[in-house]
Amino acid sequence: MKIETINVSLKKDLELFSYPIFVGNNLLTRADNLLNKYIKNKKIIIIHDCFFSSKPVLDETFKEFVKSIKEITISVNLIAISGGDQTKNMIELTNIIEKTLSYEIDRECLIIAFGGGVIGDIAGFAASILLRGIKFINVPTTLLSQVDSSVGGKTGVNSKLGKNLIGSFHQPVAVIADINILKSLPDREFRAGFAEVIKYGLIKDKSFFNWLELEFENIFKYDDLKLQKVITKCCQIKADIIQEDEKEYGNRALLNLGHTFAHAIESFGNYDGKIIHGEAVAIGICMAFKFSSKYSFCSRSDTERVINIFKKSKLPTSLKDIPDLSITTLTMVEKFKYDKKTRNNKLTFILNHQIGEAFIKHDVNVNELIEFINEEI
């Protein structure tokens, strides 16, 4: 299989900064070749999901990756952390920083994040503040992180008041999306990642959404070529958006379709596994479409198509699908106030005119929102 490379180009201090996203199969065994220019003769810290130290077969994949980069670097030190969302907190961040500093790093040192979105978020944030900023590479190992969180430079941790409220924009210098590693995922995690895949068709590319409707079963069978197309397409759409709006002053907010609802839903689950991010995104996107059609922004038929693909993908589409969450309308609306898109206490949501055409809706009417959520609960 040919390696696909997507380049993300951004302006940094009036200069052009770009980095590659490599998408292909069995890339981790040849990481030394792909990453040579970034890691040769450097001290490397790998912050990885402890999941890859707990199972012998997975451990072999991880060991091969570590072995391949040891041959060209000064040193490689490992920091294992849990990949769950409960890890994204200031205490864990402090532990990572202190441990990294204990390895006598310098500003030429480079951090590699090896794991899902949580690992990439917290490792990237640590890289952004260690020694006032060192470089990092993202090696996403979940479908969700390969198509979404590993690209774009959003890093951070959660606050008690909401998700991802503490963080920074810190772009990686390279991303490796190895399709083969996705076979290590539990089925639930893989399907949850597919929610973010669907999102890209909904915000920007109706033909991609149409293709997903036809091919989702083959994607769930881990068809290598189909997965490469999925990851490449999503990364290209995201790259196109962030190249125009790196720090979300405008259209980058479209990437948050369903996420205002989703982040609130996740917080009700206390990040303990009752509901995981992709599942919350699936519900959030369905809610965004139902809200859009309720107030005549988009058609009911488009909304039904969206709900249908999530159902066929065995993902939740309604708050009623997660009975263990104790959600009330007023507490949910209160959580919306901490959403990063909120301006001057006015709520902003990403809604749709149709499949493939999302838009930013500022100053959403709170009373309409309350009426809608009452119907959903």
Q: Which amino acid is at 366?
A: V
**Active-site pick, 238, 290, 340, 341:** 238
Catalytic hit among 2, 37, 132, 160: 132
* DSSP code at position 12: E
Whether residue 365 lies in the annotated active site: no
196 catalytic per annotation: yes
Distance, in Å, from the CA atom of 142 to the CA atom of 177, rounded to the nearest integer, reads 9
376 among known catalytic residues: no
Active-site annotation holds for 67: no
Examine the residue annotation and report whether 247 is marked as an active-site residue of this protein. no
SS3 content of the chain, % helix, strand, coil (to 5): 55, 20, 25
Annotated catalytic, 252?
yes
If we measure between CA atoms, which residue out of 53, 58, 27, 19 comes closest to residue 179? 27
**Which is the catalytic residue, given 135, 158, 191, 248?**
248
Catalytic residue among 42, 88, 204, 259: 259
- Catalytic residue among 88, 154, 163, 233, which? 154
277 is catalytic: yes
Of these residues, 48, 204, 226, 252, which one is catalytic? Answer: 252
Supply angle C-alpha 203, 204, 210, rounded to 5: 95
Selected catalytic residue, list 263, 340, 341, 361: 263
Catalytic annotation present for 170: no
Is 107 assigned a catalytic role?
Answer: no
Q: How far apart are alpha carbons 70 and 231 in whole angstroms?
A: 28
Residue 248 annotated in active site:
yes
d(CA 62, CA 79): 13
CA pair distance 131, 349, nearest whole angstrom: 36
Residues with a catalytic annotation lie at: 132, 154, 196, 238, 248, 252, 256, 259, 263, 277
